[in-house]
Chains A and B, each alone.
Chain A
């Protein structure tokens, strides 16, 4: 019997698509439903951040850094501030450090809520998305009371903060944490342990740990593959070494280690750990302190260069800054975690179907602002 001649279709999941989390284009080569090849095409959101940064002074770069990963702005600003402060040797007051940590962890929870909600939406469950956004609304309210903005804050400056916290900050944050913990359980009951969801995500998009390390992934994508690596513990910056929290690692509970369910579950339990950090920080935070006292009038770092990395909700954000002694940087290179995580997508999606591709893409949790800068 002669071989049936079949052809492969080249399909374009174009820049405008409900599931590609931003303007990402995927060129797929399909054989029926099976995906043979995936080629991500990026650059639709390129805003020349690095070229702009060379024309700005160091404090003026902070709003640009915000807009890279717009769902976790506090973490981006923290990364940049840590890098410049290390280069200049600025010492930060205690109160500022604690507030920075609280803001960064709150933003981590907010970013994970978006990731989980939209992941449910990709799999076809419409309701968890709205439940996640109800909680996120409470966090954004706290941010708005503190610095006036809901999404892009310009709050963590080099050397301090832009505004002090309001008197009711502590109660609001503790109240949020108290209300939020049972909501994680509700989300688990609704989505995480739902049989249909498990069938959609377990054993899909398996990323072995050696491949993950070689491809430069970081954050929940790397931890979901079983590698115990969290920059807050392995390479501590700011005051993270004072807090007691667990590093969540994927363990292949519902399928193989490193599948999409593991990556998703790492994010869910990380929200719980962030709650712990926030409670500890609120307790240890000193009541007195001027948040603006260490902000220098003019930032002129010594001649040198530095590569500083911090842990954002998506992974390792690195800033490579070269300074030549003036108040304008020579080079600011931002290494976005989603850039490296997305480059591992072709390695994860060999032989899957289109529906699986959407699920894998959702589990990597990309934000195009950080990929394209």
Chain B
């Protein structure tokens, strides 16, 4: 199934959660989904007969330089050998997305990394803390407007 058909199928099941479908080449097509319903949609994508997206390849966090953050999910299905990209766009002032780690175990660490570096908060995550940076680091480095902190535990940070 290609992305257009999947979009239509999803739209029929979740009319208000599925927001948009972008397909301008050479962009790889992606489906924009709402932040609060993402886990139900992902469960549907994993378990539905024709779709069966059982593999989460990658979960990236993006900072569009216009007060919006996004999380991008790249999915793949072993059974049917098709791919899908899903995006969730949230405002910087309230970056809350429902976690999908109950659907795919991969998401556990990927979401921790997205939180650590970009500051996206994932609701109901089983083990929600920073992963790469020290636990008491301030700020989210990958954001475009990130300012390095002056001192960390008494050590001067910018050199």
Q: Taking beta carbons and an 8 Å cutoff, which residues of A are in contact with B? A: 42-43, 46, 48, 50-51, 87, 89, 211, 213-216, 227, 229, 234, 302-307, 309, 316, 318, 320, 322, 330-331, 333, 335, 339-340, 343-344, 347, 372
Distance of A254 from chain B, by nearest CB (Å): 26
Residues in A neighbouring B63, C-beta threshold 8 A: 331
Whose C-beta in chain A lies nearest to the C-beta of B85?
A307
Known: A43-B131, A43-B132, A306-B28. A229 touches B57 (CB 8 A): no
- Choose from B55, B57, B74, B142 the contact partner of A50 (Cβ within 8 Å): B142
Whose C-beta in chain A lies nearest to the C-beta of B55?
A213
The number of inter-chain residue pairs (CB within 8 angstroms) is 81
User: Is the C-beta of B153 less than 8 angstroms from some C-beta in chain A?
Assistant: no
Q: Are A50 and B117 in contact (CB under 8 A)?
A: yes
Known: A43-B132, A307-B28. A318 touches B54 (CB 8 A): no
Q: Are B106 and A331 in contact (CB under 8 A)?
A: no
Residues in A neighbouring B78, C-beta threshold 8 A: 213, 227, 229
Residues in B neighbouring A50, C-beta threshold 8 A: 117, 142
Per the bound structure, the CA–CA distance linking A174 and B120 in Å amounts to 51
Q: Are A343 and B58 in contact (CB under 8 A)?
A: no
Q: Are B54 and A213 in contact (CB under 8 A)?
A: yes
Q: Are B106 and A215 in contact (CB under 8 A)?
A: yes
Known: A304-B26, A305-B28, A335-B58. A214 touches B106 (CB 8 A): yes
Q: Taking beta carbons and an 8 Å cutoff, which residues of B are in contact with A? A: 25-28, 54-58, 60-63, 72, 74, 78, 81, 85, 104-106, 108-109, 117, 130-134, 141-142
Distance of A332 from chain B, by nearest CB (Å): 10
Known: A89-B26, A227-B78. 16 other contacts (CB 8 A): A43-B132, A214-B54, A214-B106, A216-B57, A229-B78, A234-B81, A307-B28, A307-B74, A307-B85, A316-B57, A320-B74, A331-B62, A333-B58, A333-B61, A335-B57, A343-B109
Known: A89-B26, A213-B78, A307-B85. A331 touches B105 (CB 8 A): no
Per the bound structure, the CA–CA distance linking A322 and B130 in Å amounts to 25
Per the bound structure, the CA–CA distance linking A48 and B143 in Å amounts to 12
- Choose from B56, B72, B104, B130 the contact partner of A320 (Cβ within 8 Å): B72
Q: Are A309 and B57 in contact (CB under 8 A)?
A: yes
Known: A50-B117, A216-B55. A322 touches B106 (CB 8 A): no
Distance of A314 from chain B, by nearest CB (Å): 15
Whose C-beta in chain A lies nearest to the C-beta of B107?
A216
Whose C-beta in chain B lies nearest to the C-beta of A88?
B26
Residues in B neighbouring A335, C-beta threshold 8 A: 57-58, 60
Per the bound structure, the CA–CA distance linking A372 and B133 in Å amounts to 10
Residues in A neighbouring B58, C-beta threshold 8 A: 307, 318, 320, 333, 335
Whose C-beta in chain B lies nearest to the C-beta of A211?
B105
Q: Are B60 and A215 in contact (CB under 8 A)?
A: no
Q: Are B85 and A343 in contact (CB under 8 A)?
A: no
Per the bound structure, the CA–CA distance linking A372 and B141 in Å amounts to 14
Residues in A neighbouring B85, C-beta threshold 8 A: 307
Which 10 A-B pairs give the minimum distances between C-beta atoms?
A: A216-B106, A43-B132, A333-B60, A335-B58, A304-B27, A215-B105, A343-B109, A46-B132, A304-B26, A307-B74
Residue picked from B61, B105, B131, B134, most chain A C-beta under 10 Å: B105
Residues in A neighbouring B141, C-beta threshold 8 A: 48, 51
A sample of 19 cross-chain residue pairs with beta-carbon separation below 8 angstroms, ordered by A number, consists of: A42-B132, A51-B141, A213-B55, A214-B104, A214-B106, A216-B55, A216-B56, A216-B104, A229-B78, A234-B81, A302-B26, A304-B25, A307-B28, A307-B58, A320-B58, A320-B72, A335-B58, A340-B106, A343-B106
